[in-house]
Structure 1
Amino acid sequence: MIKARGLARQFRARGHTVDAVQGVDIDVSRGELVGFLGPNGAGKSTTLRMLTTLLRPTAGEAVVAGCDLLSDPAGVRKRIGYVAQGHSSGDEQKVIEELVLQGRFYGLAAGESRRRADELLERFDLTEIAGRTAGKLSGGQKRRLDIAMGVIHSPELLFLDEPSTGLDPQSRSNLWDRIRSLRATGTTIFLTTHYLDEADALCDRILVIDHGKIVAEGTPDSLKNQVAGDLVQFETGAPAAAAEIAAKVDGAQELHVDGNTVRFRVAKGDTVLPLLLRQLDQADASLLSIQVHRPTLDDVFLTMTGRSLREESHA
């Protein structure tokens, strides 16, 4: 659904050339839900704007939804849906009116546009507020309306630009369910987000961009496996003796002792716990607490770039 090669974009700012995107290659297969992560200024939004025909690339080429990005941008726009960060609806328009009008913009006949609108009202849990003006909707309702407007024409490929930003946890969870339902119908989704848990929960595959280049690519689990194992952390009344035991765990790395806390990394940390607990008990190293932490996508970014995605994304 997306095949980009050497996609690049330069800007001129204060007499200098800025390489916002530096020759990225992107492949997205039909039916995939792909997450696109990166801190502010990394080139994420610029890449998305190029793929959706809003910004012409300085270099490179791409085929999006079967159409050439450079020679047939109108064909691309007909076949994709795009939900931007800002709300798409007008505050004074009724929900049903916005959906029907959007369908008409895409060339649907009046009856087909109304039928499709009714279908999406039900799918996105908007039926009861169909007659309400968009300006009176909650944040979660507005985002569901935005996505419904983005798929009114049944696009093969949907771009979602940070769809859950600013939503409360319950609204985010509801929105995630709607995104999953779209994916289940076969829609290919390209999702940008600053929420690592969102990418982890929703995406089949993740691309991480930094300084205009793709620095990591893979499934959430495969990316996390590139970090040096799970973090095993425990508190004990005998840290010196416990550290000696931990050091002998097969594959243990990055062993640290901080007061009564001992921590180390090891592949599949949950599988080493039974033996570790028995050995600590036999050594009378009183155990106060123990935890196993799986690597996060932020750990991946920290490993790849030396800085935290979470901190940079909210800078």
Structure 2
Amino acid sequence: MTGSAITASGLRKAYHDKVVLDGIDLDVPAGTIFALLGPNGAGKTTTVNVLTTLTKADAGTVRVAGYDVASDAKAVRKAIGVTGQFAAVDELLTGRENLQLMVDLSAIKDGQRIIADLLERFELTESADQQASTYSGGMRRKLDLAMTLVGSPRIIFLDEPTTGLDPRSRRTMWTIIRDLVADGVTILLTTQYLEEADHLAHRVAVLDGGKIVAEGTPDELKRRIPGTHVRFRFGTAADLATAERILDGATADENELVLRVPSDGRTKSVRGLLDRLDEYALDAEEFSVHTPDLDDVFLALTGHTTEAAKK
């Protein structure tokens, strides 16, 4: 698959008088990870439900894998895999039996080989014959994703796949997602975590109140938010004072001998600051670029932090 794996234009959805999606436009290139970032209630899950034929939009057009979602929903379903917010595994069955169920439903040939490969890929071989009810949260999420891959879909929708996972399980899931994309799979990921989008996504759309309020690479989004700065630490108070004088907007911490200079964090901007210091023969002992965190991004783009949005 080349070109766009998923496109949406003017996507709208309302429940009674509550507008959930208010004119969403998306374009997800094939073979990439596209993240929908937003707090609870932003419309992420509704977007996924519409794109995967689970919910009918009130207006707008959607094409997934080249098929129109409204007129060719069956073809869309054959082309995609979906992993929801909660692991959809049967806890009374073993891990192997859950995978066998998906093989049987999909009428796939060579099912035993596929099951063995998926169990090994997701590091579930040793626990394959244990009931899923004994699995940890991370193991259930891995099994859930493995079940999604039984039919070898080329487009996968992951709706907050790491919510509730511990840091180790979350990073394991990140590795699996990267490996899928390396194999040519396209992934649309929804998440509340900028860190997750930062580590995984080629592009991010920030969704709030049913509208996309910003879109770009993770670095582009962070650079748009006030607060990005370059931090210099000098060896002497005299060097600190000189640097503060020659660098516009600089703020000095005389106790720590640290200077903070507003910047967009781009290479050209940082190089300009370093060249300016070099003109005055100033040598900082260390420097680093600091960018806003998740709450900084949301506060600037949506008017609230992610924690406030959850309440």
| Deviation readout 1:71-122 (Å, 9 max, x if unpaired) | 122221111100011111111101111101112212314xx22221111111
Q: Where do 1:1-315 residues align within 5 Å?
A: 1-12=5-16, 17-109=17-109, 112-228=110-226, 230-233=228-231, 245-246=243-244, 248-249=246-247, 252-253=248-249, 263-268=260-265, 271=271, 272=273, 276=277, 292-296=289-293, 298-308=295-305, 310-312=306-308, 314-315=310-311
Tell me if structure 1 keeps the 8 A contact 2:244–2:252: no
Task: Return the offset for 1:295.
Answer: 3.7
After TM superposition, the structure 1 stretch with the greater mean CA deviation from structure 2, 265-274 or 145-154, is: 265-274
Task: Return the offset for 1:293.
Answer: 1.0
1:129 is paired with a residue of what secondary structure?
Answer: coil
Tell me if structure 1 keeps the 8 A contact 2:33–2:189: yes
Task: Return the offset for 1:262.
Answer: 5.5
| Deviation readout 1:129-151 (Å, 9 max, x if unpaired) | 11111111111111110100111
1:193 to 1:243, Cα distance in 2 relative to 1, 3 A: farther
Cα distance in 2, alignment partners of residues 142 and 234 from structure 1? 45
1:215 is paired with a residue of what secondary structure?
Answer: strand
Residue type of the partner of 1:96?
R
After TM superposition, the structure 1 stretch with the greater mean CA deviation from structure 2, 69-78 or 185-194, is: 69-78
Task: Return the offset for 1:32.
Answer: 1.0
Structure 1, unmatched stretches of 5+, are none
How many aligned residue pairs are there? 301
Cα distance in 1, alignment partners of residues 186 and 308 from structure 2? 28
1:161 to 1:153, Cα distance in 2 relative to 1, 3 A: same
1:237 to 1:313, Cα distance in 2 relative to 1, 3 A: farther
Task: Return the offset for 1:219.
Answer: 1.3
Structure 2, unmatched stretches of 5+, are none
TM-score w.r.t. structure 1 length? 0.84
Identity of aligned residues (%): 43
1:238 to 1:314, Cα distance in 2 relative to 1, 3 A: farther
Residue type of the partner of 2:63?
V
Measured on the aligned residues, the alpha-carbon RMSD in Å equals 3.0
2:150 is paired with a residue of what secondary structure?
Answer: coil
1:58 to 1:243, Cα distance in 2 relative to 1, 3 A: farther
Residue type of the partner of 1:294?
T
Cα distance in 2, alignment partners of residues 219 and 209 from structure 1? 14
